[in-house]
Amino acid sequence: MHLRQSRIAAALTTVVIGMMFQPLTTTHAAPVQATEEDFAAMAPAQSLAEVVPAAGRPRLTATLPDGNVVHMLPTVKAAAGLVNNADNGPLVYHSGGSIMPSVSIYSIFWLPAKLQNGGTTGMASNYISTMIGLSGNYPAHGIQNNSTQYYQISGTTKTYIKSQGGAGGSYTDTSAYPTSGCSDSYTPGNCLTDAQIQAEVKKVLSLKGWTGGLGKIYMVYTSSGEGSCFDSSGSSCAYTEYCAYHGAISGTTPIIYGNMAYADLNVCYAGQPTPHGGGGYADAEASIATHEITEATTDPLLNAWYTAQGNEIGDLCAYNYGTATWDSAKANEMWNGAYFEVQMEWDNHFGGCVQIGP
């Protein structure tokens, strides 16, 4: 075995196999540390789309007909494949890959009066306020602090993710959904393709004068009862395969975006506490949102940080929340006095899932 690989193997022997899916404790034995050069030396591919997962594991990255590549958060049921075939890291940096040095979070709520089939649209009463609150409180706290260990290399310059950013803005679009572009069994008659989601992002950016770039992410939140699929063939759809995904609209200046299907509690909720109440919809979506934002920060173009199995930082800890120590055990994060219950994220230094940064 190569010396660098052997050091990583030694580091991984200190990781308990079930650690990713158990509450985080505040004390642990220091693992044998692999260096950043070790991680880089093991990079198996230049694009996440090239990685073929091990047999029995769900494929979370897809290349769509238009060439766009997206990476999804599977439903709770689909994520069982992640549990049964545990990926214990590490995240590996791929030469030339890009990170988001800081992140401004833009929230687009696409909420017309009616679904395509004539049904009434809706969001829980605290849904919009919770997502806007999250966009302003996520940067520079807890989970984002963990991302500061990850970096990009351009030439001889190494740039780390900074624990900074904020809410870029929000917009509620009440214009009608386009004709259903796909068909799926979970939301029959009400379905948006990725191309239609991209068109909405471009429309709102033009309307608001917002711009793309590797420092901004546009989160598109759609109504309850509204589904989505990658394309018109219905090859992969919300609520059956995924709860959300992130990708980048290509161009001279890429536009990073997230397709945020409404948090259906039957398939996208793992029974975590709900500090915001309101039936749990906002809290379920807040955790999904931090999953996508953190993954986009560390891997916006799907060419930077992921494992040899093809998993990003959030996949290794999907639906794993750790210990709720805030708000009478209803939350695991407190940012600027606001409480959230969100999944943990992978820490290369610790070799496991954490609630706060190093």
| Segments of the chain with pLDDT less than 70 | 1-45, 81-85
Burial of residue 45, with CB atoms counted within 10 A of its CB: 0-12 exposed, 13-18 middle, 19 or more buried = middle
- Residue boundaries of the structural domains of the chain: 3-354
Q: How many CB atoms lie within 10 A of CB 226?
A: 23
Cα atoms in the Cβ-side hemisphere of radius 13 Å centred on 234: 15
Per DSSP, the residues of 204-221 read HHHHHT---STTEEEEEE
- Cα separations in angstroms, 45 against 37, 137, 248, 307, 348: 16, 34, 19, 10, 19
Scan for tokens 């001279």, then name that residue.
252
Q: What is the pLDDT of residues 58-110, one digit of tens each?
A: 789 999 988 999 999 999 988 876 655 678 899 999 989 999 999 999 999 99
- Taking the CA atoms of residue 161, residue 44, residue 248 and residue 171 in that order, the dihedral angle to the nearest 10 degrees is -50
| Partner residues linked to 192 by β-bridges | 228
Query: Could you tell me how far CA 146 lies from the centroid of its own chain?
Result: 14
3-state SS, residue 148: helix
C-alpha closest to that of 183 among 135, 146, 132, 234: 234
pLDDT for 55 equals 75
Task: List Cα–Cα distances, 302 to 48, 248, 328, in angstroms.
Answer: 5, 9, 38
Q: Which two tokens stand for residue 165?
A: 């950013």
User: How confident is the model at residue 263, as a pLDDT?
Assistant: 96
Dump pLDDT digits (tens) for 220-251: 999 999 999 999 988 899 999 999 999 999 99
